């Protein structure tokens, strides 16, 4: 894998773990979420097909964005109260 793409995957992994930390604090299951993320990345570690890698990265980014949107909407609802 090209070094730039590898760096992007590492950054995505770290961001997923940070998000897990945030979500886990709210729900009390930080380690379970982080372990799920670790397992997903480990399962995909040996993938060499560039198209599949891009597809998995896109799915992870979409998941992160969905969590952010849900958090923002929740914060808006609380602010209106």
Half-sphere exposure of 6 (CA within 13 A, CB side): 6
Tens digit of pLDDT for each residue in 47-61? 888 899 889 889 888
Delimit the domains of the chain by residue range.
Answer: 3-80
3-state secondary structure 5-65: HHHHHHHHHHHHHHHHHHHHHHHCCHHHHHHHHHHHHHHHCCCCCHHHHHHHHHHHHHHHH
Angstrom distance (rounded) from CA 9 to CA 17: 12
pLDDT at 38: 93
pLDDT at 24: 86
Is the full-model pTM beyond 0.75? no
């Amino acid at each position: 894998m090209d070094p730039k793409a590898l760096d992007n995957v590492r950054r995505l992994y770290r961001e997923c773990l940070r998000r897990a930390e945030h979500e886990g604090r709210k729900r009390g299951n930080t380690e379970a979420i982080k372990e799920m993320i670790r397992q997903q990345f480990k399962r995909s570690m040996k993938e060499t097909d560039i198209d599949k890698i891009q597809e998995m990265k896109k799915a992870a980014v979409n998941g992160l964005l969905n969590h952010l949107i849900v958090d923002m909407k929740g914060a808006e609802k609380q602010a209106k109260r």
